[in-house]
Every structure is written in structure tokens, then in C-alpha cells.
Amino acid sequence: MARLVYGMNVSLDGYVDHEKFGPDEVLFRHFIEQVRTSAGSIYGRRLYEIMRYWEQDDPEWTPDLHEFAAAWRAEPKWVVSRTLTSVGPNATLVADDVEGVVGRLKQEREGDLYVGGPVLAHSLTGLIDEYRLCVHPVVLGGGDPLFVGPRPPLRLVMHRRIGGEAIELTYVPA
């Protein structure tokens, strides 16, 4: 049985913004391995459209960028959207019964299934087994909050520094 993990990069003040800050080299290597070994990822439309950047292949990329792109392309993906009519390679569109689909994926797969995007994660709160938050020393002062709506009660089970600046906090539902 798979575990559903909500994992995001987050600012000190609780916001996510993929354009304002990102991982250093060590944390990026951590993400390469995470994607390579995952049971798959479940994306909301907005985050999936951002991540589709990795479908291309840029000859000017570093070896790490090429490696991440290859791992991301190979990873199974489910995209939750009522507006998209198609998704890219190795991706499945989920338009209805999201909780049912995710529940079945948890039963059918082994390992960690990652859910990305605050709105989607909020809709799946009852199914999330673990929250992995990579906190960066950045204050955004606004934007998309990590948690949309009421925050679930959580219990810290692990913390570790990854790279030069990020702290990964791992929580489980309390």
C-alpha cells in the first residue's frame, strides 16, 4: 500500500512560489532521487502546467537538470483537472471522483505517492499520510499559502537539514 505525501518547498512565512525561490544543488539532488523512486505524483492543473517544463530537453542544461527531467518524464503522473482535455506522456487525466481515484492508487501501488499543489492537497487532507515541507530562509509576504483553508492537526516526526539552507520538516496527521 502506498503512502500519500504532500511535499512542497515553502517560505518561512508559509507561502509557495516556484519562481521566487528554489532548491540549492544538494536539495535538487534529493528531489531527483525522490522522483526517481516515487510511486508517482498527483498534480493539480496549475502545478502540472509548471512541471511540464521538464518535458522538453534543453542542450544547455546541466547534467542534474537532464537527470531530473528524465526521472520526471518516467514517473507516472495523475493530473486533476476539470478544464484540461488532455495531458502529456506518462500522465493520466482525473476529472471526477478524485478521492476515489487517489484511494485506489494508494491501495494498488507501493511506495510514496506525492501530491502537489495546495488546493489539491487540501481536498485530499483525509487521505494524506505525511507532510514533507522543505522550508527555505525566504520571506515572501504573500502569494499562494501552503495550506488552503483550515490547517490539519499535525505532529512533527522528523526534521533534517538538506543542503545549505533548507530544513525538511516531516509531519503526520495528529
Domain annotation covers residue 51: yes
Instruction: Check which CATH number belongs to the domain holding 96 and give it.
Output: 3.40.430.10
Domain count, the chain: 1
Domain annotation covers residue 84: yes
Domain annotation covers residue 38: yes
Domain annotation covers residue 56: yes
Distance of CA 119 to CAs 80, 85, 149, 172, Å? Answer: 11, 20, 9, 19
C-alpha cell of residue 48: 502540472
> pLDDT tens-digit profile of 18-59?
889 999 999 999 999 999 999 999 999 999 999 999 999 999
Is residue 112 within 8 A of residue 76, CB to CB? The reply is no
Determine the pLDDT at residue 133: 97
Distance of alpha carbon 14 from alpha carbon 109, whole angstroms? 31
Domain annotation covers residue 132: no
Comparing CA positions, the residue from 173, 156, 134, 149 lying closest to residue 7 is: 134
Taken in order 28, 32, 33, 38, is the CA torsion positive or negative? Answer: positive
With 0.75 as the threshold, say if the pTM is over it.
Answer: yes
Domain annotation covers residue 59: yes
Distance of alpha carbon 78 from alpha carbon 73, whole angstroms? 13
Residue bearing cell 507516472: 76
Is residue 143 within 8 A of residue 15, CB to CB? The reply is yes
Domain annotation covers residue 131: no
User: Any residues with CB less than 8 A from the CB of 17 and at least 6 apart, and which?
Assistant: 11, 140, 143, 144
Share of the chain above pLDDT 90, in %: 95
Domain annotation covers residue 71: yes
Share of the chain above pLDDT 70, in %: 100
Give every strand in the sheet of 130-136, ordered side by side.
91-94, 77-80, 40-44, 111-116, 2-11, 130-136, 166-173, 154-162
